[in-house]
Structure 1
Amino acid sequence: MKKLILAGLLSVCSFSILADIAVIVNANNGNAIDQTEIKKIYLGKSKSFADGTKVNPVNQNGNNVADEFNDKVVGKSSSQLNAYWSKLVFTGKGTPPEKLDNDQAVIDFVSSNADSIGYIDSSKVTDSVKVIATF
């Protein structure tokens, strides 16, 4: 019986770890962005959307969604990304994206700011934002 309960709990946990990540922008944003451009934005190498509008990216505080986004899209672990940004900040070459606490905070921020981009668990998407990519 204990083995069945443990197997069930592990299954539930694995579903949350394997959730898709939705990259979102303001609902009025007409830009198309691919994974390469998203990665450049989150590494501070790109500062604007294709139409020239300044981009304002937001991250999530260290949670499963952030870890999965960093791994799948940016190609770095959270600790590697923190080290990367520490170096840029120390040398005066960049400022990391603002960190928000959860999916709802990202949705609220992105829906209120036309120049923003963020990521959330794809199951949390609402009509107030536009999904531009899913990973």
Structure 2
Amino acid sequence: MSISVSTPVSTTLVDAPPELICIDGEFYRRHKFGGGLVAVTAKVAPSAYVDRRAMVRGHAVLLGTARLFGEAIAEDHAVLGGMTTLRDRARVGGEAILISGVIVREDAYVGGKTCLEGPIVVEGKAQVIDVNLRGRLTLR
């Protein structure tokens, strides 16, 4: 799922604060660094960057200088830290943990109980699920 910045989205709840946006029953606020959508149940460090079209859903956690660009999505219980970057339409979910310069881009997905410690690049239509990898790798 993606949301365009030109798509009007509003909440129908009378008592919802005006800064909240409701999408598919989940409430979001705009992150101060980048303006992307962050679920009220997620945790995002003030130093993390969330691009205006990117989303942090569920209980995902962005630490330090993690960055989401384009229409990237961090969701479920994923944890991103240590200069991890998601670009394009990349998604990270499940209980995945990405640290130390991992880059996920294009239409790649990382999920399950995966742990990646970079520098690792996951690109193309790669699906990385339930693995533990560290070192200098490119996964396509």
Q: Which has the higher contact order (CA 8 A, sep 6+)?
A: 1
Asked if TM exceeds 0.5, the reply is no
Query: TM-score normalised to the size of structure 2?
Result: 0.22
Query: TM-score normalised to the size of structure 1?
Result: 0.22
Structure with greater proportional helix content: 1
Q: Which has the larger radius of gyration?
A: 1
